[in-house]
A and B are shown apart, each in its own frame.
Chain A
Amino acid sequence: MSVTIALAGNPNSGKTTLFNQLTGANQYVGNWPGVTIEKKEGRARGYSGVTLQDLPGVYSLSPYTPEEIITRDYLLRERPDAIINLVDATNLERNLYLTSQLIELGIPVVVALNMMDLVKKSGDVIDSAALSQALGCPVMEISALRNQGIEDLLKQAVQSAQGARTAPPNTLSGPALQAVMDIERMLEGLVEPAMRRFMAIKLFERDRRVAGLPALDEAQRAALEQLIHGFEEQLEDDSESIITAARYEWIGELSARAVRRARTGQRHSLSDRIDRVVTNRVLALPIFGLVMFLLYYISVTTVGTLLTDFTNDTLFSEWIASPLRAAMEGAQVSPVLVGLTVDGIISGVGAVLGFVPQMLVLFILLGILEEVGYLARVAFIMDRVFRRFGLSGKSFIPMLIGSGCSVPGIMASRTIEQERDRRMTIITTSFIPCSAKMPIIAMFAGAIYGNSGWVAALAYLAGVAAVVVSGVILKKTRRFMGDPAPFVMELPAYHLPRPANVLRAAWERGWSFIKRAGSVILLSSVALWFLQAFGLEDGRLVMVEDNNTSILAAIGRLVAPLFAPLGFGGWKHAVATFTGLIAKENVVNTYGVLYGFAEVAEDGLEIWSRLAADFTGLSAASFILFNLLCVPCFAAVGAIKREMNSARWTGFALTYQSALAYAVSLVIYQLGLLLTAGTFTPWTVLALVLAAGLLYLMFRPGRRLNGIAAPV
């Protein structure tokens, strides 16, 4: 048999746990096309030919957020054989809202009442039989966390998938029901009986984005509009709201019959008591600071760096690269091949894999925080600060991690639910100086600024400013304004993390990074190795000893004039910037090599005097800013590509970063020249125009959306 069962339900209803239990290791995780949302598919354990399709957690099938559109389109177009609707029994009415829409789709539904153990503990009683009768479909009690009732659920789902389709029951109460039934009559002959109720409701709501909406003629459309309008007048509300209210009215009636509450008044569970500490006015921020510190300390400073250094320095350099090089040279292999293999490929692969240990540690820790439920509290606490800049409260974590390394930082943006906020965070995370950029800062601090501690501080400030400014600017553009859903969230109950979930998620994320981002990094590393190892001599392509004569240097010379208005037009600087694309630490090394030193200290001590000759205080600032803000290293670019899951968006991110870096450097340098030396050139004019442009983009009024002015 070949049966597909979709898994649908609210966020936080335990879907991930259930999916993992139903499929075990037989999962495949990817992305829904063009969006950053995960797509999970798997084979059901114990059955052959039963595919489980996990759908994004949604509160409703209204077509406003990407998750909802994906879910609805999937259900309407792919028509799975059955739907398992996971319902959080501790939150019944709101969960039933989605249920009421699912059962209208003409696909057999099996409702899985999850967390029944918690319901029983609270003393409430839910009559599953009554629910089942009202919903017209089987209702199974389960506890996903405790692995109870899962086999029966699956058995029932497979049975329903192969069984007959029945007409959906009524899910509306009140006057709206009459309206919908009138429309149904209009659809006789146009739509099959199983779909008539659904289509009638969609027509009443004036929902145009439904696949398979029946085509009506002029007369019918006019009659329809008149009908809808009449009801809107009568009930003093718009048709969508009328339906929503009608659904909840029906749910209220159902709830009155099937649910008996133990006691009224506010409940104070263990989660509430924990929250009283964790989110209270005084303790919330210090506790938050502590958790973030621990997260950072463990994943970046200690364990993470330890593992990364081991992988890069010991594993790859000592154990693999050096012996391999020695072996190849000993075997008289051509230098080209040695170079390609050791400096190109191994180095590239090492760059990719070097990140993985740190990332895995981080993902495990983040996964624990997410499973436990703390990340939702983070959003709750930090939201006010971040949303002014178009970011989510959860954007704090990627930024924090990004101060260690952008790669895991960018990937941590997955915990952000809203796609718009997620994309914005991905774009701006690399503005925060990462640990690889610190040597650049230290080098200039020593060479130009007399080792002042201010340089580093200002660099971080500049990074944060870039994040804020970008948020403000981008939020006012059409692309980022499009998300109309208001930001609502639940604080789900705390529970102990399930190691299986955490480990599996961490592993999957790490692996997908290797696969997707890895290819970008590998190819670009090899390419860059080639460009700096080869040059043209007498018109022939040969390997060069002195990379001043390499192709890369030639490109550097070609491109260098572009950087002249920024204050660093020498070709060495262009080359250094390019090698920074592989890894930002390379900038220091490259300068070393270009100035004639085979090896330099981490902060380039030996070349300070040379740098001081080539840079002024102002041009150094411009250089630092440019390297801080522009496109990050290839590994981070790979991470961006992976998380954006869209070539267009990745391109936008990189273009925006480069443009911002260029503009900022230009403005700083030219206006600095104007103020210090009174120099006025066409470039100064350009700088003034750019500065004015930036200010305009920041302070222009936001557009009005849905009758409410967008904040900031």
Chain B
Amino acid sequence: MMKSLDQAPVGSYASIVRLHGRGATKRRLMEMGLTRGEQVYVRKVAPLGDPVEITVRGYELSLRKADAAMVEIAGS
């Protein structure tokens, strides 16, 4: 089963394996820096459970779990 970014627990590091999905959604995620091989850190989750904030390429990015689910990761 693919492990995806929305499943990564807060405080963990994860390495991006690949991005699923197509077109603009996938493109936007990549343009924000979520590319293959990049390491991200899950900082926090919003009080209502969504969105989730991660650190990528030195900055903090918030994305919805539905979109984070497109990012396949290898956890640590």
Where the two chains meet, the residues of A that have a C-beta atom closer than 8 Å to any C-beta of B are: 59-60, 62, 64, 90-94, 97, 238, 240-241, 244-245, 248, 261, 266, 275, 279-282, 284-285, 380-385, 387, 484-491, 706-708, 711
Q: Give bound CA distance, A708 to B21, whole Å.
A: 7
In the complex the two chains form, is A490's CB within 8 Å of B60's CB? Answer: yes
Q: Contacts A384-B49, A385-B48, A485-B24 given; 16 further ones with Cβ under 8 A?
A: A90-B58, A90-B59, A97-B33, A244-B27, A380-B46, A383-B46, A384-B48, A387-B64, A484-B24, A488-B61, A488-B67, A489-B63, A490-B59, A491-B62, A707-B21, A711-B66
B contact residues around A94 at 8 Å (CB): 32-33, 57, 59
Nearest CB in chain B: distance from A520 CB, A = 36
B contact residues around A284 at 8 Å (CB): 46-47
**Shortest Cβ distance from B32 into A: residue:** A488
* Known contacts A94-B33, A241-B30, A380-B62; is-contact A486 B51 (Cβ 8 Å): no
A contact residues around B43 at 8 Å (CB): 266
In the complex the two chains form, is A241's CB within 8 Å of B50's CB? Answer: no
Nearest CB in chain A: distance from B34 CB, A = 9
Contact of A241 among B26, B48, B64 (CB under 8 A): B26
Contact of B21 among A281, A381, A706 (CB under 8 A): A706
Q: Which of B13-46 contact A (CB under 8 A)?
A: 19, 21-33, 35-36, 38, 41, 43-44, 46
**Shortest Cβ distance from B69 into A: residue:** A708
**Shortest Cβ distance from B55 into A: residue:** A266
A contact residues around B32 at 8 Å (CB): 59, 94, 488
B contact residues around A281 at 8 Å (CB): 47
B5 contacts the other chain (Cβ, under 8 Å)? no
* Known contacts A62-B31, A241-B26, A380-B51; is-contact A487 B63 (Cβ 8 Å): yes
Nearest CB in chain B: distance from A68 CB, A = 10
* Known contacts A62-B31, A387-B64, A486-B64; is-contact A279 B21 (Cβ 8 Å): no
Task: Pick the 10 closest A-B CB pairs, nearest first.
Answer: A484-B24, A284-B47, A384-B50, A384-B48, A486-B67, A91-B59, A93-B57, A244-B30, A706-B23, A64-B24
A contact residues around B62 at 8 Å (CB): 380, 488-491
In the complex the two chains form, is B35's CB within 8 Å of A91's CB? Answer: no
Contact of A240 among B27, B44, B61 (CB under 8 A): B27
Where the two chains meet, the residues of B that have a C-beta atom closer than 8 Å to any C-beta of A are: 19, 21-33, 35-36, 38, 41, 43-44, 46-51, 53, 55, 57-64, 66-67, 70
In the complex the two chains form, is A486's CB within 8 Å of B29's CB? Answer: yes
In the complex the two chains form, is B25's CB within 8 Å of A486's CB? Answer: yes
B contact residues around A245 at 8 Å (CB): 30, 35-36
In the complex the two chains form, is A241's CB within 8 Å of B27's CB? Answer: yes
Number of A-B contacts (CB under 8 A): 124
**Shortest Cβ distance from A91 into B: residue:** B59
In the complex the two chains form, is A491's CB within 8 Å of B47's CB? Answer: no
B contact residues around A275 at 8 Å (CB): 44
Q: Give bound CA distance, A199 to B47, whole Å.
A: 45
Q: Give bound CA distance, A214 to B26, whole Å.
A: 27
Nearest CB in chain B: distance from A376 CB, A = 9
In the complex the two chains form, is A706's CB within 8 Å of B24's CB? Answer: yes
**What are 27 of the A-B contact pairs (CB < 8 Å)?**
A62-B28, A64-B24, A90-B58, A91-B58, A93-B33, A241-B26, A245-B35, A248-B38, A279-B47, A285-B47, A381-B48, A383-B48, A383-B51, A385-B48, A387-B64, A484-B25, A485-B28, A487-B51, A488-B61, A488-B63, A489-B51, A490-B60, A491-B60, A706-B22, A707-B22, A707-B23, A708-B70
Nearest CB in chain A: distance from B25 CB, A = 5
A contact residues around B24 at 8 Å (CB): 62, 64, 484-485, 706
**Shortest Cβ distance from A709 into B: residue:** B66
A contact residues around B38 at 8 Å (CB): 248
B contact residues around A280 at 8 Å (CB): 47
Q: Give bound CA distance, A385 to B30, whole Å.
A: 26
B contact residues around A62 at 8 Å (CB): 24, 27-28, 31
In the complex the two chains form, is B31's CB within 8 Å of A244's CB? Answer: yes
Nearest CB in chain B: distance from A430 CB, A = 26
* Known contacts A97-B31, A241-B30; is-contact A279 B44 (Cβ 8 Å): yes
Contact of A244 among B35, B58, B66 (CB under 8 A): B35
Q: Give bound CA distance, A91 to B59, whole Å.
A: 6
In the complex the two chains form, is A238's CB within 8 Å of B46's CB? Answer: no
In the complex the two chains form, is B47's CB within 8 Å of A490's CB? Answer: no
**Shortest Cβ distance from B49 into A: residue:** A384
In the complex the two chains form, is A383's CB within 8 Å of B25's CB? Answer: no
Nearest CB in chain A: distance from B51 CB, A = 6
A contact residues around B66 at 8 Å (CB): 708, 711
Nearest CB in chain B: distance from A151 CB, A = 29
Contact of A384 among B19, B28, B31, B51 (CB under 8 A): B51
**Shortest Cβ distance from B29 into A: residue:** A486
Q: Give bound CA distance, A281 to B47, whole Å.
A: 4
Nearest CB in chain A: distance from B56 CB, A = 8
Q: Give bound CA distance, A240 to B26, whole Å.
A: 10
B contact residues around A486 at 8 Å (CB): 25, 28-29, 63-64, 67
Contact of B25 among A59, A238, A380, A485 (CB under 8 A): A485
**Shortest Cβ distance from A59 into B: residue:** B31
A contact residues around B51 at 8 Å (CB): 380, 383-384, 487, 489
Q: Give bound CA distance, A261 to B27, whole Å.
A: 28
In the complex the two chains form, is A60's CB within 8 Å of B48's CB? Answer: no
In the complex the two chains form, is A381's CB within 8 Å of B29's CB? Answer: no
Q: Give bound CA distance, A119 to B62, whole Å.
A: 22
In the complex the two chains form, is A266's CB within 8 Å of B64's CB? Answer: no
**Shortest Cβ distance from A241 into B: residue:** B30
Q: Give bound CA distance, A91 to B55, whole Å.
A: 11
In the complex the two chains form, is A706's CB within 8 Å of B61's CB? Answer: no
Q: Give bound CA distance, A708 to B67, whole Å.
A: 9
In the complex the two chains form, is A92's CB within 8 Å of B67's CB? Answer: no
**Shortest Cβ distance from B52 into A: residue:** A380
